[in-house]
């Protein structure tokens, strides 16, 4: 019988994080869920059979070390999903100082601290860090500029740190298009909603979770879901001065889908 393995899922009380945690439990891992909502994390852990649900503010570097310590008590740590994130649907100039700061600290620093703690805590067999980035990391996203910038930062982080890691340690970034989550639903009526919905029906959390879990053990560093959207987004970075008309078209498509939803 093989030794037990553990994994960590941040932002795991609901949405994509919960679906990832549930999938990892089903595969036999001893899963530690963390969330700013500690009660929600504990409730989800109980409901899906995870070994622990912990309150965590990912902006606190030391909290990641403590989470890693808890995980290693349940088995060799082999996977860490940096999933916690926030999004504010507005132009840069309209966001408050606190919203800009929270975006950078949660979406970037939280991922950096988690990635570092995971690599330090992996055992001799190595492990995988999976970062929930976003399709928005690949190109301009007006009205979600701060969010897009933070997701581009962690996409870059994944590619760079993957080349720094010791043997048997892999770092991945998953870049999904719009996902049917509470965070996206909260954008209803906001400026960025039309672009989020422009790619067709929103992805389900289970689709994104399956893609995240499938990265574990693979050599693939970046995966975009769906793949065709990456090409469309990257095209806008080749001629950024000409991106406006294309993004306007996407926004009109998203508006129609919003009206039909």
Who contacts 69 (Cβ-Cβ below 8 Å, separation ≥6)?
121
Mapped onto helix, strand or coil, the DSSP state of residue 194 is: helix
Contact between residue 150 and residue 108 where contact means Cβ atoms under 8 Å apart? yes
- Residues, the chain: 261
Question: Nearest-CA neighbor of 188 among 252, 261, 106?
Answer: 261
Residue in 81, 122, 147, 250 annotated catalytic: 147
d(CA 57, CA 10): 9
DSSP-derived secondary structure for 207-230: HHHHHHHHHTT----EEEESHHHH
d(CA 12, CA 88): 20
Q: Counting Cβ atoms within 10 Å, is residue 180 exposed (0-12), middle (13-18) or buried (19+)?
A: middle
* Residue 92 is a catalytic residue: no
Catalytic residue IDs:
147
């Amino acid at each position: 019988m093989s030794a037990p393995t553990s994994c960590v899922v941040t932002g795991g009380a609901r949405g994509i994080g919960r679906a990832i945690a549930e999938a990892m439990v089903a595969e036999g891992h001893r899963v530690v869920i963390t969330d700013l909502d500690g009660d929600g994390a504990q409730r989800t852990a109980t409901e899906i059979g995870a070994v622990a649900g912990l309150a965590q503010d990912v902006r606190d570097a030391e909290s990641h070390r403590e989470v890693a310590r808890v995980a290693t008590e349940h088995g060799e740590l082999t996977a860490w999903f940096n999933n916690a994130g926030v999004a504010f649907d507005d132009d840069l100039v309209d966001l408050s100082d606190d919203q800009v700061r929270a975006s950078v600290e949660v979406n970037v620093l939280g991922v950096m601290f988690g990635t570092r703690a995971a690599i330090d805590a992996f055992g001799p067999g190595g492990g995988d860090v999976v970062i929930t980035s976003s399709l928005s990391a690949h190109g301009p996203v007006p009205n979600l500029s701060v969010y897009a910038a933070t997701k581009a930062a962690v996409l870059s982080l994944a590619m760079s740190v993957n080349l720094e890691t010791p043997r048997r340690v892999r770092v991945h970034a998953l870049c999904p298009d719009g996902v049917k989550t509470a965070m996206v639903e909260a954008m209803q009526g906001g400026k960025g909603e039309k672009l989020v919905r422009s790619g067709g029906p929103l992805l389900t959390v289970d689709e994104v979770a399956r893609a995240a879990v499938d990265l574990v053990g693979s050599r693939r560093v970046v995966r975009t879901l769906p793949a065709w959207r990456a090409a469309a987004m990257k095209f806008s970075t080749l001629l950024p001065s000409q991106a406006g008309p294309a993004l306007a078209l996407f926004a009109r498509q998203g508006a129609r889908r919003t009206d039909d939803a």
